[in-house]
Amino acid sequence: MQTMTGQPEAQVSLSAVEVQRIKADFEILEHQVNGTDVVYLDSGATSQKPRCVYEAEQHFYENANAAVHRGAHTLAVEATEIYEEARETVAKFIGARTNELVWTSNATEALNLISYSMSNASLGRGGEEAARFRIGPGDEILTTEIEHHANLIPWQELAFRTGATLRYVPVAEDGALRYDLLDELVTEKTKLVAFTHVSNVLGTITDTRRFVDAARKVGALTVLDGCQSVPHLPVDVKELDVDFMAFSGHKMLGPTGIGALYGREELLNAMPPFLTGGSMITVVDMEHAQFLPAPQRFEAGTQRIAQTHGLATAVSYLQEIGMDRIAQWEEHLGAMLYEGLSKIDGVRVFGPSDAPRIGTVPFEVLGVHPHDVGQYLDSRGIAVRVGHHCAQPLHRALGITATTRASTYLYNTEEDIKALIDALGTVREYFGV
């Protein structure tokens, strides 16, 4: 079927009817909060889960539960198959090869994995093969002022442990990244450039090409924080051309407790491990151990098998709808949010007006603290996030300590946005401002 513009239907954004159908897959969205239908606008913190995701976990426990990569019994074989199929599904989803996807407990652990692997390399672990991960005094790590603490503190700590220097790309007054300073900040000393794909506070999409080009020129490694992009946009790591990417399952309809690290195969296989123990070795004697190749090298101990199955089920759910269409719907909701909130008297929206964005918008209500704004909205069943959103440096750069943040996902309707805008019209009156 063709639309009026001649585009195949698959290229068209979701329709209101489809969104209602999607919403019906999320039991929790049918619940009432404070006597009214819940309006969930906090998917940036964690997404809701469709029935199929937790049913998949239940199915695993009822039919295939066993430890993976060990034991010869039938259940162990089935569990291992489910675990490795999940890896294949999620790897394909981001354009990676299966062996390039390491399971972690969340994105934070994925980023710490790189940080600690690099300190281990700097101590000589991994030998000559790991030489390119060594870092020390005189070397530089570059990050940005908009990062979530998870993509900042692991690099601060790596710098403390190794004597390297941490530098950052600052933001302009409106929160836009100062790309113009990249050429100056990325030098021969730069060993690693860590940056986010989408700001978890501002919702703005980074021009990753500029970071990757600058890093490539000097041979620096690139680490992308994909927590806010993988759930909302079509993401292909080979197209992005980054060396590493971290993302979390619970923000993309998956269970909590599962995340992943993508890394180029040749890099992962040259890196010394972070967590060590069972399941990641080949030969062990009382003095030494030899390690398996990636991804097993980074998956010590009993793994999160049901969670990987849940996440793969979430990915299949997203793929069936289509990431292009989800992205278009959320772009629409994001524009509605940004424009709608900007028009309310006494509401100030943060973030550059001209940057591409997902459906995430931070704002303040003049004279009312974000905590109070959030409480007022909650009394009307509207769930938003308040606080610094794990990005204190960005808030400081914007001259504030906290904001209120609305963030959408594929199950949000235009009515949800209208409900928020409507409620915000009466907040100041309630607090007597």
Partner 1 sequence: MNELDQLYQQVILDHSKRRIGSPLVEATAGHLHGESHQHNPICGDQIRVRVELNDEDHFESMSWEGEGCSISMASASVLSELLPELTKDEFLDKLEIFREMMRSKGNFEPDEEVLEDAAAFVGVSKFPARVKCAMLAWVAAEAAMLGANK
Q: Rounded to the nearest whole angstrom, what is the least distance from the CB of residue 220 to partner 1 in the complex? A: 33
268/368 with CB nearer partner 1: 368
Identified binder of partner 1 from the candidate list 56, 121, 164, 402, rule CB under 8 A:
402
Residue 393 touching partner 1 (CB under 8 A) = no
Rounded Cα distance, 117 and 133, in Å: 8
**Quick check: 342 and 324 in contact, CB under 8 A?**
no
Q: Rounded to the nearest whole angstrom, what is the least distance from the CB of residue 368 to partner 1 in the complex? A: 8
Percentage helix, strand, coil for the chain under 3-state DSSP, each rounded to 5: 45, 20, 40
Q: Is 393 helix (H, G, I), strand (E, B) or coil?
A: helix
**Quick check: 196 and 148 in contact, CB under 8 A?**
yes
Q: Rounded to the nearest whole angstrom, what is the least distance from the CB of residue 255 to partner 1 in the complex? A: 24
Find residue 342's DSSP bridge partners: none
Site for partner 1 in 15-44 (CB under 8 A): 34
Instruction: Name the catalytic one among 52, 66, 218, 390.
Output: 390
Q: Rounded to the nearest whole angstrom, what is the least distance from the CB of residue 388 to partner 1 in the complex? A: 5
Residues 334-373 as x/- pattern, contact with partner 1 by CB under 8 A: ----------------------------------xxxxx-
324/378 with CB nearer partner 1: 378
Q: Rounded to the nearest whole angstrom, what is the least distance from the CB of residue 369 to partner 1 in the complex? A: 4
Identified binder of partner 1 from the candidate list 46, 65, 328, 392, rule CB under 8 A:
392
Rounded Cα distance, 264 and 110, in Å: 14
Rounded Cα distance, 433 and 427, in Å: 9
Site for partner 1 in 127-186 (CB under 8 A): none
Rounded Cα distance, 339 and 344, in Å: 9
Burial status of residue 54 (CB atoms within 10 A of its CB: 0-12, 13-18, 19 or more): middle
34/282 with CB nearer partner 1: 34
Identified binder of partner 1 from the candidate list 8, 137, 399, 432, rule CB under 8 A:
432
Count of residues that bind partner 1 according to CB under 8 A: 19
Residue 52: active-site member: no
Burial status of residue 286 (CB atoms within 10 A of its CB: 0-12, 13-18, 19 or more): exposed
Identified binder of partner 1 from the candidate list 23, 325, 357, 395, rule CB under 8 A:
395
Two structure tokens written together for 23: 């919403």
Q: Rounded to the nearest whole angstrom, what is the least distance from the CB of residue 358 to partner 1 in the complex? A: 24
Two structure tokens written together for 275: 């967590």
Two structure tokens written together for 330: 């959320």
Rounded Cα distance, 428 and 433, in Å: 5
Q: Rounded to the nearest whole angstrom, what is the least distance from the CB of residue 395 to partner 1 in the complex? A: 7
19/423 with CB nearer partner 1: 423
21/371 with CB nearer partner 1: 371
Distance from first CA to last CA of the chain, Å, rounded? Answer: 53
**Quick check: 76 and 68 in contact, CB under 8 A?**
yes
267/368 with CB nearer partner 1: 368
Residues 369-388 as x/- pattern, contact with partner 1 by CB under 8 A: xxxx--xx--x------xxx
Q: Rounded to the nearest whole angstrom, what is the least distance from the CB of residue 431 to partner 1 in the complex? A: 6
Rounded Cα distance, 119 and 169, in Å: 23
257/387 with CB nearer partner 1: 387
Question: 169, 248, 173: which is closest to 208 by C-alpha?
Answer: 169
61/430 with CB nearer partner 1: 430
- Alpha helix segments (H runs only) across 262-369: 265-268, 305-321, 323-342
Rounded Cα distance, 127 and 295, in Å: 19
Name residue 189's amino acid.
K
Give the footprint of partner 1 on this chain (CB under 8 A): 34, 368-372, 375-376, 379, 386-388, 392, 395, 401-402, 430-432
Show which residues are catalytic: 390
